[in-house]
Structure 1
């Protein structure tokens, strides 16, 4: 009887051992990161920065697959339908995971299709013009828009994108009319302001600040409620021209629902360690991001709160996507 009992324990040990070893070995191959936007925009820039650092922390490569289209829905859907084994993760953005739900009549995924990993950062937009623009302040933009209704153009990374809504809300609250020009991603929109195709742009700091620092663009203000630590010299739109105006986006990382808890915990720990690094925090701040970090539950709660917040705003604007 004792021999049988010990033999049974040995068999159980052999069965459980490989499972534990596999869990401890995660990750043992490269991880795919789906970015639901084209290369060159703010989402792509910060994804590449963090994926390299987190990959080094995990001891593996995190390679990026850009899957742009439908305001992020195409890439997010691909991520949601991926095998939940810890080897596919997704860059999550406020537009794709909070705003789109109110813009589209039907969505190809539910938020329950994802497991949160980490809340990376809160991100203000910059109201930006070319340096040869006559606009030196937000007040200048408003005055010109009032004098020429519907003539001033502003670009965005696409219909329904956060910078589209930032411009729409600005126009509504300032009592002016602007002409919206959507592009297929942040990079084409940035190129449009650089080439003079459009008069102004609302956009994330990451792709715009290098051009501001090089003297090609002039940032007039930030869209957040408080001044951004990355560009403290810039006023908020609310403090200089439009009281109560505030638009910020956010980003983080998700995995397909059903991803093993051990993988989520390992990824969360790696991201938090990278986000806590003073050099990384400073770099993100200089890019205009405000690092957050924390537990997966914090990110889940933030997504839910933002989804609730944008509902009445979008309904009031009359925006709708097919």
Structure 2
């Protein structure tokens, strides 16, 4: 299982070419010439959510470096709806010429087709370019909560099954899955309460309408001393957040959250996919860009087309096993 990392791996050129080769899913017999002349006109970078969220923040940070590296304008547009499903289903019907690229999120692109008959796409329909960022889950309570530690929280949940409410952003999202994984790993039962987004979930916690939130690492900086973090779902402490305990350090093997990347239509030539992947890999090595990610409490990820596809398949198996054991499938 891939685990959230806390340091940026520096990729040698040869390693990146190996990671980006054989992006999979056809490519229409494209040659190196397809990448050599690409791009020749502006690129539309589609965000599958409203402006202002973490996907949008990431795209905005990437916009200028992408324009400089590719030598063309990169515009950002928004196609919200269905938790991203509207845009991702549309991507599968878009011309695969490299001029429409789209942000994609895990576990969303796995769970939507798994749990909804009307998702409009299958996970494998989206041709992966790169997974470049992640935001680990955190379990947070109000600063004045009676739960001072994760052990306190787990003990209370065991004593009163289902009585503790955990809020989060959306159904079958990273927050929802994180709550299910915590329940499974700790042998407890909590009640998950979905909200339309983090913006709605946070007031519910601070107002005492839910006992805890399963949310993302950026909330640590944004909410400051209003919350107490009981656990971060990373394998190792995150740089800058070392004062907050991980679940792993407390004996709970919970390492999960949201992963963000870029996908393209399924018929996009492999040569173009590789060029985009190499470009993003180079941006991810820029110290100024890395620092911007760090300021947002984002984790830099470096998964080219092949590794991103394999990682998605691995996570699909994890979620399918979990949901089957919980009787949700």
- TM-score (norm: length of structure 2): 0.79
Q: Is the 8 A contact 1:72 1:95 kept in 2?
A: no
Report the secondary structure of 1:125's partner residue. Answer: strand
User: 2:140, 2:63 → 1: CA distance?
Assistant: 28
Report the equivalent of 2:220: 209
Q: Is the 8 A contact 1:154 1:201 kept in 2?
A: yes
Structure 1 position 131, deviation (Å): 2.4
Structure 1 position 23, deviation (Å): 5.9
Structure 1 position 307, deviation (Å): 1.5
Deviations 1:33-75 (A, max 9, x none): 2222333333333233223432343234433333334343222
Please say if 1:271 is aligned against 2:280. Answer: yes
User: 2:281, 2:207 → 1: CA distance?
Assistant: 39
Counterparts of 1:1-322 in structure 2, within 5 Å, are: 24=36, 26-105=38-117, 107-206=119-218, 208-213=219-224, 215-240=225-250, 242-319=251-328
Q: Which residues of structure 1 form unaligned runs of 5+?
A: 1-19
Q: Is the 8 A contact 1:118 1:254 kept in 2?
A: yes
Deviations 1:186-239 (A, max 9, x none): 333334334443221112223x133244x3333221112332335222222132
Aligned length: 299
Report the equivalent of 1:11: none
Which structure would you say has the larger RCO, counting Cα contacts within 8 Å and 6 or more residues apart?
A: 2
Deviations 1:65-99 (A, max 9, x none): 33334343222112222222212111121122223
Q: Is the 8 A contact 1:41 1:185 kept in 2?
A: no
Report the secondary structure of 2:302's partner residue. Answer: coil
Runs of 4+ off more than 4 Å: 20-25
Structure 1 position 262, deviation (Å): 4.0
Larger radius of gyration: 1
User: 1:132, 1:65 → 2: CA distance?
Assistant: 41
Greater share of residues in helix: 1
Indicate the RMSD between aligned Cα atoms, in angstroms. Answer: 2.8
Report the equivalent of 1:5: none
User: 2:204, 2:69 → 1: CA distance?
Assistant: 37
Deviations 1:157-203 (A, max 9, x none): 21111110111221233233322111223333334334443221112
- TM-score (norm: length of structure 1): 0.81
Structure 1 position 260, deviation (Å): 3.2
